[in-house]
Structure 1
Amino acid sequence: MEWTPLAGTGLGAIVGVGSTLLADRVRRRRDVTERTRQERKEIYVACLTKYRQANEDMYAAALRPPAGVPSTSPFGRRSGRRAATRYASRR
């Protein structure tokens, strides 16, 4: 009996299994990287949305005159901006 065909078959099986394992490892790493990138993107979008909402809230508060100050007062808007900044920094 010749050992050459048997050795060739065994070597082919080892190469086939090895290449399959390597391809699966590369695919898994790519999937993990893509999943991480997607999670990071969702976090960035949520953070920017919160920043934008805070900016809009501060702007709206700055436009309203503070309680007890008539809207015709020249200090009304400035005081409102200070109050809005103080309120936003405590949030």
Structure 2
Amino acid sequence: MGYRSAKKEILRALRNGNYQHESRGDIDVKNLLALGKVSAIEVATLIASSDGSMHTESPHHVVKGITVHVIKVKNWYIKFYFVDPDAWFISVHK
């Protein structure tokens, strides 16, 4: 899945509420969406304003078959992946 497909799917997941958050020890500073300090609409707006030059992908650190997407836009770092039927956020922070 490339940037355009990932962007389309993550925006759909945010709009429909089909997203989860990966557990992590530093979630209080690394995932502001999970904490409610930024809304799904705000994250969607950031992602919608991104372009392919702001996107990278790599294998998940534990499950190598899962592609992790990173979008760096307007000083925000948004890291996520997909496991049907949901998107999973690892990080949403400045």
Normalized per residue, which structure has more strand?
A: 2
TM-score, with normalisation over the residues of structure 2? 0.24
Give the greater-gyration-radius structure (CA).
1
Which of 1 and 2 has higher RCO (CA within 8 Å, sep 6+)? 2
TM-score, with normalisation over the residues of structure 1? 0.24
Normalized per residue, which structure has more helix?
A: 1
